[in-house]
Structures are given as C-alpha cells and as structure tokens.
Amino acid sequence: MLPIDLSGRRALVAGVADDNGFGFAIAKSLAEAGAKVCVATWPPALNIFRTLLDRGKLDDARRLSHGGLLEFERIYPLDAAFDTMEDVTPDIRENKRYRDIGDFSIEGLAASMLKDFGPDSLDILVHSLANGPEVRKALIDTTRTGYLAAVAVSAYSKVSLLKHLGPVMRRGGSAVSLSYLASIRAVPFYGGGMSSAKAALESDTRMLAYELGRARGIRVNTISAGPFASRAASAIGVVDQLVTFCAQNSPLPEELSGAEVGNTAAFLCSDLASGITGTTVYVDKGYHAMGIAVAGTAPKRED
C-alpha cells in the first residue's frame, strides 16, 4: 500500500467561495489525506460562504470518506488584485462588502497567517484564483485594463502569494496552481486576456520552481484541468458545451470530476511527488493529446 499521507501538514487554498469549484475539491482531497486546511475567499463572497457553512448547507459536499466533515482551520478574506492595502482604490475601501473585514490584501493574508500560526507553519499553497473581467470579449477587442487585470489576478497573484508567504512556508513545501489548455492552444470564447494569463502562469511555474527550489526546496507545479461547470467558469458562457464536447472527444470519453483534480493536487503536494517540480500536469481525460475532433458539435455562443 502506498498512501498519500499529509498528516501534520497545513495547507492554504486561495480561491474557495463555494462547494462547486476545483478549489473546494482540492481542499477536500487534502483533508482526506490528513492535512489541516485554511482557505482564502474573495471578500464579496465571504459572508455568504460563512453563512452556508454555519447553516449546514454545504455539509453533504464536506462529508469525508471516514464520515466526518471537511473543517477549515481559518477562513481569510483575500482580494488577490491587491498586494497591500495601499494598492486598494477608494471605491473598494468604501464598498460595504469590503470596509469592515480588515486587511484583505495578499500582504494582510500573510500577516494573519504568521500571527495565527507563526513562522514555518505552512506546507502547502494552492492557487485557485482566476478572474478576467472581459473574458467574454475576443482578445482583439480586449482593453489594456481588462488584459492586465486578467494577468494580475490569474497569474501574478501566485508570484505575490509565494513572495509574501515566504516567512510562513516551511522549507520543502509545495505550491500548486490551476491552468487550462488555452495557455498553449487557441480556445474560442476564452478571451479577455485569460489565455495569456494561463500562459504566464505556466511560465511562472517553471521560473518559480527554479528560484524557490534552489532557495528553499519548495516545489512548484500547475495542473492543467479540463473544462468543469463551476459557477466561476460559467462566466465564459459556453462552459456546459465545452464540458460535453471535450468528453466526446477525449481518449477517456467522460466528464472530468472535481475529485480527480483534487486527488492529483494532493499527490503533487505529497512526498510521493518529491521529484516533480516546474511541471504542468494535464488532468483532462487526455483531451490535450487529441489533434482533431472525433465526435459532437463544437461549442457555439449566441450573444
């Protein structure tokens, strides 16, 4: 028997606001492997997420194989568009969904974790953050502001998190992020600079693996997951069609589950993957290997 054992390790999953996305699935798999899990949530969704947890609305999704529930050590507010509170614009500061929750910047998250757990207390960082305000626009129609916003939140935030969490992360830790095939292939409807952001994320994964591997023995990988009908992915408008089309045209002709991505992340963060870093791991039923479509109708959006 060769189990994935993360007992005694602490993980932070940045980008969990419900039970529907890859971030939640990864958090659950990490907990199944024995890790203690903290999450960071976008401030506008924070109170709703906490209310759902308090009222037991997510209990079914939180159920672990041994019968207990996935518990979060801490739930932190995080808007990954801001490295420090000095970067926050007045309109955000005064917004009712932000103004009473304290420091929601990346620096603030790191400071809170350092205060709560002390130095060298974090073993695993999961970057499950992506936002493209103009994702429904073709790249040629994307504004500079929209393009840079997509790259800032979806890619640079990983760099910033690893930088600011440096004092909190233990030597020999692991970081995992979530990419998508649009980083290397043209995927219609995935616009607004998001394809460029995913390409940057994968490039940064390689460079960070080198820099942090040499400096602190930290491994850095990314998972290129297939399309998944999460609430966040619904922003592109054709995600259900993408899920069906990819299932019809993959070597394993079936839809991807969140647990399959979560279990891969748990493996990459475990000692079983001690020789893997700087790598993009495809978890998409093999769709990335296909050169032509073999079934179904290509997705079509009617705006």
Q: What is the CATH number of the domain that holds 26?
A: 3.40.50.720
Q: In this structure, what is the dihedral angle of CA atoms 160, 163, 166, 169, given to the nearest 10 degrees?
A: 40
- At 127, give phi and psi (nearest 5°): -100, 105
In a domain, 21, yes or no: yes
Q: 233 pLDDT exceeds 60?
A: no
Torsion 81-87-90-96 (CA) sign: positive
CB 139 within 8 A of CB 189: no
Mean pLDDT, range 71-87, rounded to an integer: 98
Task: Supply the pLDDT for residue 303.
Answer: 59
Task: Supply the pLDDT for residue 228.
Answer: 85
Task: Supply the pLDDT for residue 229.
Answer: 73
Question: Which pLDDT band, with edges at 50, 70 and 90, does 208 fall under?
Answer: very high
Task: Supply the pLDDT for residue 247.
Answer: 93
In angstroms, the CA 42 to CA 263 distance is 24
In angstroms, the CA 253 to CA 244 distance is 9
In a domain, 199, yes or no: yes
The boundaries of the domain holding residue 228 are 10-286
Question: Which pLDDT band, with edges at 50, 70 and 90, does 295 fall under?
Answer: confident
In a domain, 3, yes or no: no
In a domain, 195, yes or no: yes
Domain count, the chain: 1
Tens of pLDDT, residues 33-62: 999 999 999 999 999 999 999 999 999 999
Q: 237 pLDDT exceeds 70?
A: no
Q: Among 25, 39, 34, 37, which Cα is nearest to 7's?
A: 34
Q: Are strands 36-41 and 280-283 parallel, antiparallel or unpaired?
A: unpaired
In angstroms, the CA 295 to CA 247 distance is 9
In a domain, 28, yes or no: yes
Average pLDDT over the chain reads 94
Task: Supply the pLDDT for residue 231.
Answer: 64
In angstroms, the CA 171 to CA 219 distance is 10
Return the amino acid letter for 296: G
Task: Supply the pLDDT for residue 155.
Answer: 98
Q: Which residues are known catalytic residues?
A: 180, 190
In a domain, 291, yes or no: no
In a domain, 58, yes or no: yes
Tens of pLDDT, residues 93-145: 999 999 999 999 999 999 999 999 999 999 999 999 999 999 999 999 999 99
Alpha helices in 11-155 (DSSP H): 22-32, 43-54, 59-62, 90-93, 106-117, 144-151
In a domain, 294, yes or no: no
Question: Which pLDDT band, with edges at 50, 70 and 90, does 84 fall under?
Answer: very high
